[in-house]
Structures are given as C-alpha cells and as structure tokens.
Structure 1
C-alpha cells in the first residue's frame, strides 16, 4: 500500500463528498446477494458514498473510516449511522458481528496481510467480503482519449475496466474464491465538475502544485475541445465493478 496516496483524501474531504460518484444500486445488491444477513460494514467508508447506496439497498450499515476529515463528512451526511474511527487493519467491532464487509474504491489500499484476518474475524460464518470500484467506461472513444490525456497518475490501472480485475482479484484470496461482475453506471457532469471530480484522485492530491495545475489545465483543454463535453452537461459513462468472496 502507498501510504502517501492512501492518506491523501482527507485534504479534499468536502470536494470528495460533493463530486465523487455514488455506486450502481445493482452492483451493491449483487455484492450482498450471498450474505447471510443484513448487517454490513462499510470499511474505509470515506465520506459515505457507498454507505448511501447500501442504505438504499436496505442494509443495516456500520461505517469505519481512518481519516478524521472524511469521517467528519460522513457523520454530517449520515448522522444516524454508527460511524467509527478505525482501519481495515484494526477494525473496532466484535467478532462475527457483521454479515458482509464492503469497501468502495478502498480495498486496494488495504494491507491484506493484516486486514485479511481482521475482516475474517468480524465476519459471521458464510459472510461476504466485496470490493466495489467506479471505473470509467473506456469502451467509449472520448473516455478512452480522456484516460490517455490525463495520464496514469490521474486515471490509473484500477480506474478502467481493462485492468481492475487483474489488479485487485488477489486481494480476496484470504477470504475465499473471488467472483466478479460489472454494472453500467453513469453520472451527469459538466467540464468543470468532471475536473473537480478528477482533482479528488490520489494521484493529483499528492502531485507538486505546479505539476497538478499543468495536468488539470491539460484536462480542461481536452474537455473544451471535444463536442461531447464542450457545451453544458453530459453523461459520464462508467461501470461499477465488483469483486466478492464468501468466507470459507
């Protein structure tokens, strides 16, 4: 795990809450399908993006988040949800206390050497671990071009369907055999709001200011030069990709 990248999001907690997309409802339902009950831990919950999707799916959600700024934003947005400081490596919950552990755009930050046994500890027998990732749908030409112009520091290997499975499937091996699925998703954006969304990515948050400004300027110029994105609102094509495993 790259600690600098993993710990960068708190500096942009408000922007993260405002601009990051939610998750496809169908993806959350599929992730929870094998779970033996409704008790769900949103692990590495951030500002509560996945929490909201899980609540809409009828889950009984508890959130755990290590970053104080992100946790504050989550508690502001979801005041009725139990939300605890903690991490995947030190989960502040009792043994066998949840039926599923889900992580939204977070599983790849976990140190599974330590987090795997902790997740297994809090999972009830037959419980489910699932990671969900919102990825850009690079089968769409202009999205593929955006990916290329942004560079791997902004839109990296886990951010497009071509590589997310290979990059992350091994993380579930400590729990059980991984299954995977992808669900169409989208978000209404403007050029300004898409730039603001990309600006909350770890690669940009840790860039030196000059390099960051240059990268954002390049992305703005790209969006201004394409008819799909140059004028007003447009639909950003995405997929919510899911890996799930049931406890042995």
Structure 2
C-alpha cells in the first residue's frame, strides 16, 4: 500500500496531523444542501469518505445521517479521525484497493483528495464498490485568487511543489471520461476561513504535504516569506484576525448502469 501513496503525502502528512486540524478550513454551509440534493445522502445510505485525512469533511457526512466509512492510508491522519469520530468506521486503505465488497455503497466522496490518485485504476475500483446509479463526488477548498494578496501566497507555496499532484494544474481531469461514469456536474460555493494568521495562513501552508516534507531550514524560510508578505499587505499587516477567501469546487459523476 505504501507504493500507492505519493511520496509527498506519505512523508508530509505523517508529520502534520495536528497542524492539518488547525490550519485547514471548514466547508461552506451550502455543502449540507448539496449533500442532500445532489448526492441524496440520508439515513438509509452508505457513503465512503475516501482520503478522509483527519476528518475535516467527515463531520459533514455524519450530519446527513448516512452510514460513513472513512478510508485513509496515512496512519497518523487516521488516528486523529478515529479519535474525533469514534462512531465512524475508519479503515486503512487506498483508492486502488478499497476494503469493501462489490456494489456495497451509495456514494463515494473525495474531499481535498482526488488529485492524489486521479486515474483510470482508481475510478475502476471506485466504480466496483458503488451500486449501479451510485455517485462519485469530488470536493476541493481553493484559495480565491481574485483577492489580490492570495496569488502572492500561492506563488510562495507553488514554487516548492515539485512533482506533487495539485488541483489547480487540472491534471486530475485527465481521468475523465471513464466508461464506468457519466459526465461530471460542477458547482462552486464561496466562503472564508477566519482566525489568527498563525492558523489560517501559516498552519494552512505548513499542512501542505510537500511543505511539511521539507527540511526544517527550508520550512523556516517559507515562514519568513509569509511574514514578509503579511507585513507588505495592508489587509493583513498587524491584524490579529484575518479571513482567507475560499472557493469550494464540487463535482458529481453517476455510475452507469
């Protein structure tokens, strides 16, 4: 299974489970309606939270009343999730090797995760566990680059990404079309992540897989670059509480048959 997990995720996420919890934004309130209307989640349904991490999206799935199965390959992340959601079945697994029977679930949700394993093999395995007419849902929280200082923050981060898969490159879209699924249906929601700069900016960047995997000296230089950016931006300078703007992108594809 280790070979199925990208080296940035394997090395980075095991270091920053606590930082991930503090630094990652929640999801907008409109997501609750989306889970109901678009995915049909309710108490008689079963949903996989695939690449569940520490459970940032798991809470949203639990709130639907559906039976939730969290699948996550990084033990340190899975431990955090299990502690936060003792009622959720949390299992070690990957998108290429789901520990579930054929046609056993109604929905598979990949929140902030599909770019890690986007490909025909993963989609075939996801289709295997979905019932006919079941749904695959993809969700990403993305910093809103329409706010002037956000592209500057992104530039600091993106310069260090190496070969790490990312949503913004669009490479994940190459997995589609896939014979098991219909077309993707896309929706977007706006929201903000409000808190101290330490959490919503520094810890968010620190929780990025390839940043967390860097040597301590390089991570320190990233912090210095962010401090300089904050000092140069009137909307950030001297603020104890700031809001990072986000766009939440959602996609749904229905299993054929």
- TM-score, normalised to structure 1, is 0.89
1:34 and 1:128 in contact (8 A); partners too: no
1:34 and 1:246 in contact (8 A); partners too: no
1:31 and 1:242 in contact (8 A); partners too: no
How far the C-alpha of 1:71 sits from its partner, in A, is: 0.6
Label 1:241 to 1:111 Cα distance change in 2 as closer, same or farther (>3 A). Answer: closer
Q: What SS is found at the alignment partner of 2:16? A: helix
How far the C-alpha of 1:153 sits from its partner, in A, is: 2.7
Alignment partner for residue 196 of structure 2, among 184, 190, 196? Answer: 190
- What whole-Å deviation, never above 9, does each CA across 1:9-49 have from its counterpart, x for those lacking one? 12211211222112224235435634465321000100000
- What whole-Å deviation, never above 9, does each CA across 1:94-145 have from its counterpart, x for those lacking one? 1111111001111011153321221011101111111111100011112223
Aligned twin of 2:240: 232
Alignment partner for residue 122 of structure 2, among 109, 115, 138? Answer: 115
Aligned twin of 1:168: 172
Gaps of 5+ in 1: none
Aligned twin of 2:18: 14
Label 1:157 to 1:139 Cα distance change in 2 as closer, same or farther (>3 A). Answer: farther
Label 1:172 to 1:53 Cα distance change in 2 as closer, same or farther (>3 A). Answer: farther
Aligned twin of 2:31: 27
Aligned twin of 2:251: 243
> More helix by proportion, 1 or 2?
1
2:120 and 2:175 in contact (8 A); partners too: no
User: Which moved further from structure 2: 80-89 or 16-25?
Assistant: 16-25
Q: How many residues align?
A: 244
- Structure 2 residue 183 is matched with structure 1 residue 177: yes
Aligned twin of 1:217: 224
Label 1:90 to 1:206 Cα distance change in 2 as closer, same or farther (>3 A). Answer: same
How far the C-alpha of 1:241 sits from its partner, in A, is: 0.7
Separation (CA, whole Å) in 1 of partners of 2:30 and 2:206: 27
Aligned twin of 1:3: 6
How far the C-alpha of 1:51 sits from its partner, in A, is: 0.4
Q: What SS is found at the alignment partner of 1:227? A: coil
Separation (CA, whole Å) in 2 of partners of 1:199 and 1:64: 23
User: Which moved further from structure 2: 232-241 or 52-61?
Assistant: 52-61
How far the C-alpha of 1:5 sits from its partner, in A, is: 1.3
Gaps of 5+ in 2: none
Separation (CA, whole Å) in 2 of partners of 1:30 and 1:149: 33
Separation (CA, whole Å) in 2 of partners of 1:245 and 1:152: 32
